Amino acid sequence: MMRCILLLISINLCSLTFAQDKWDLQRCVDHALQNNISIRQADIQARLAAMQYKQNTLQAYPAVDFSSNIGVNFGRSIDPTTNQFTTSQTLFNSFSIQANVPIYQFNKIKNTVQASQFNAQAALAEVDKTKSDVVLNVAGAYLQALLSQEQVKIADIQVQQTKEQLSVTRKKVAAGVLPELNAVQLDAQLASDSASYINAKMTVDQNLLQLKAIINLDAGYIFEITTPSVESIPTESLADLEPESVYALAIKNLPHEMVNELKVKSAEKSFWAAKTAFYPSIQAFAGLGTNFANPFQKITSSNFLGTYQNTPFVTNVMGTNYPVLSPQFDFKHGTKSFGEIWKGYGDQIEQNFRQNVGISITVPIFNNGTTKIQYEQARLNYQTLVLQKEQAEQKFKQDIYLAYTQAIGSFQKFIASQKSAIAAQKAYLYASKRYDLGLISTIDLITTQGNLFKASIQLVSAQYDYIFRLKILEFYKGQGIKL
């Protein structure tokens, strides 16, 4: 029994903990900045751009390569140690180190490095831009969830009012004061109000799921948001959010324009780097190398055949040229042991050691138009980004003016909705009193109640829409999003 009591207490404490674990806007924003997939993708792209910048920076340093090979020659080949043709199998081994140092490439490396540097900075600014967009999306989804929760409260009040009216009407029907039709009509209205309440609850769940998706929170996570009073949400006045001044601050404080500016600079440097391909390039080179070679066969014995063979050489003795003859031998060969093959390895490596150093010049003449096309592509890419920047600036300014215009419209709609809601509330109070006195029908009461419900929903929607429009302007102004 005691275990059951303790278990129930633990469950209640856990339920209380979950109930208290509500998310405010700042917590949602912080979670989104850490986990939103778009932000993480932008961060990866920024790191890739930084790596490309680092790689281009290292192009100014020498490139050094070490190579080594070992193998066997078969058939007719050149002995790498004597440069003579041989037909015997030969084991060879070589080592080489080669270094290349760029000397002058008409600032190609400099422009390439600067282009990648601007591109890396643009990628970082893109991360900030993505974060700003995510923050704005989180705020919009959060406010939408708050609005849907307020609509649930209004729908619940509508249901409770209808239930009370139905209870009073049933009593009057039982007393014979009102006909049964009045109760039936209120029953139908209660069913309709209940359906509206259920739909409002479903809208809350959908909006919370959308908010979870934006902040990359598991859909099955128990999730509640804090519901600050809409009247307590701090907002600036429209007079302080004049679009021209907001635009001037947005250009300085937000990364949106910086992204385009840096991309244009990167494209400009890439354009100049592509142009250097038309000019010669100079680089220095240096190298070290050595090799070893030894045939698999050895001479085991030789027998002079007693004959001589003419050679193309002559020797002069006392003014007379005599041909140089080569004695002919019969050689017998055998297979070298493993130790004999590698014998003299260190001597050959030392004797065949060689070095080289020099300067090379590469002059482009004709490469099937590749250089020209790449240059034209870089130039057109630069012009495209300039136009994109100009278009983005126009759209950015239009978005701010549109947000200001929508804020004015939302404010006017909010004022009108307030008046409509006050009038609908008065009409419903009068209608309720008249209905209690039997002066109006149930249909008239239901109609008046429906008008109040619609006016209340419109008022809450207009109020949240107005606040959201102000928050967009505050965001563009560089003040972030605060509720």
Which DSSP string do the residues of 28-45 spell out, in sequence order? HHHHHHHH-HHHHHHHHH
How far apart are alpha carbons 242 and 40 in whole angstroms?
34
pLDDT at 449: 84
Decide if 144 contacts 225 (C-beta within 8 A). Answer: no
Segment 304-353, tens digit of pLDDT = 777 888 888 888 888 888 888 888 877 676 777 778 778 888 888 988 89
Rg value, the chain, Cα: 44
pLDDT at 16: 40
Q: Which of 207, 140, 194, 145 is nearest to 166 (CA)?
A: 194
Q: How many CA atoms lie within 13 A of 465 on its CB side?
A: 18
Mean pLDDT of 26-47: 92
Strand 281-295 relative to strand 320-335: parallel, antiparallel, unpaired?
A: unpaired
Q: Is 80 exceeded by the pLDDT of residue 163? A: yes
**Residue 66 contacts by C-beta under 8 Å, 6 or more apart in sequence?**
95, 96, 97
CA 309 to each of CA 87, 322, 326, 327, 329: distance values in angstroms, whole numbers, following the listed order: 21, 13, 5, 6, 11
pLDDT at 383: 95
- DSSP-assigned beta bridge partners for residue 358: 285
* Three-class DSSP category at 153: helix
Confidence of residue 193 (pLDDT cuts 50, 70, 90): confident
Average pLDDT, the chain: 85
How far apart are alpha carbons 264 and 378 in whole angstroms?
11
CA atoms 453, 457, 462, 463: torsion sign: positive
**Amino acid making up residue 175:** A
Q: Which of 203, 200, 192 is nearest to 162 (CA)?
A: 192
Q: Is 50 exceeded by the pLDDT of residue 377? A: yes
Domains in the chain, CATH or no CATH each: 108-278+368-477 (1.20.1600.10), 297-335 (no CATH)
Q: Which of 186-190, 243-247, 384-388 has the highest mean pLDDT?
A: 384-388
How far apart are alpha carbons 183 and 445 in whole angstroms?
12
pLDDT at 483: 62
How far apart are alpha carbons 106 and 122 in whole angstroms?
26
Decide if 119 contacts 262 (C-beta within 8 A). Answer: yes
Mean pLDDT of 377-396: 93
pLDDT at 459: 84
Give this prediction's pTM: 0.74
- DSSP-assigned beta bridge partners for residue 264: none
What's the first-to-final CA gap in the chain, in angstroms? Answer: 48
**Amino acid making up residue 210:** Q
pLDDT at 369: 86
Confidence of residue 18 (pLDDT cuts 50, 70, 90): very low
DSSP-derived secondary structure letter, 222:
-
**Residue 73 contacts by C-beta under 8 Å, 6 or more apart in sequence?**
86, 89, 90, 92
Decide if 223 contacts 23 (C-beta within 8 A). Answer: yes
Decide if 477 contacts 204 (C-beta within 8 A). Answer: no
Confidence of residue 83 (pLDDT cuts 50, 70, 90): confident
Q: Is 80 exceeded by the pLDDT of residue 153? A: yes
Strand 85-86 relative to strand 77-78: parallel, antiparallel, unpaired?
A: antiparallel
pLDDT at 42: 94
**Residue 136 contacts by C-beta under 8 Å, 6 or more apart in sequence?**
472, 475, 481
Decide if 332 contacts 299 (C-beta within 8 A). Answer: yes
pLDDT at 166: 85
Segment 240-297, tens digit of pLDDT = 788 888 888 888 888 888 899 999 999 999 999 999 889 999 999 999 999 998 887 7
**Alpha helices (H) in 290-368, listed in sequence order:** 338-341, 345-351
pLDDT at 205: 93
